[in-house]
Homo-oligomer: A and B are copies of this chain.
């Protein structure tokens, strides 16, 4: 395989991964959708059940479930006239890992800043002492 093809495949994979992240974070950016996930984590439910529970129209709830389904956070199955929703297959594993990595860098950065401030304070103190003597 040529280098260019390899790069193209890698780029395609990165883009798919990014698109998955875009979809899952966008799906989480709504209180009703977070509520639906909370509800489904307790047990499967039909779209009618969910619409009732969240005081929404069936059409409105179908839209929210559609967004969650596109992000892989919910899967649905139609048996007869009832469409049952359950959580998954996406377990928000990578999303949590991304935030965790970001927070580690956050902490590391601010620890480094604290170190610089401590060093400046130490120098300031030493200078004060030199002045006094």
Contact = CB atoms under 8 A, between A and B. Distances in A.
Contact of A103 (B91, B98, B106): B91
Contact of A34 (B30, B34, B93, B98): B98
Q: How large is the interface on A (under 10, 10 to 19, 20 to 34, 35 or more residues)?
A: 20 to 34
A109 interface: yes
Nearest to A38: B102
Contacts of A93: 103
A51 interface: no
A102 B37 CA distance: 8
Interface of A: 18, 21-23, 25-26, 28-31, 34, 37-38, 41-43, 87-88, 91-93, 95-96, 98-100, 102-103, 105-106, 109
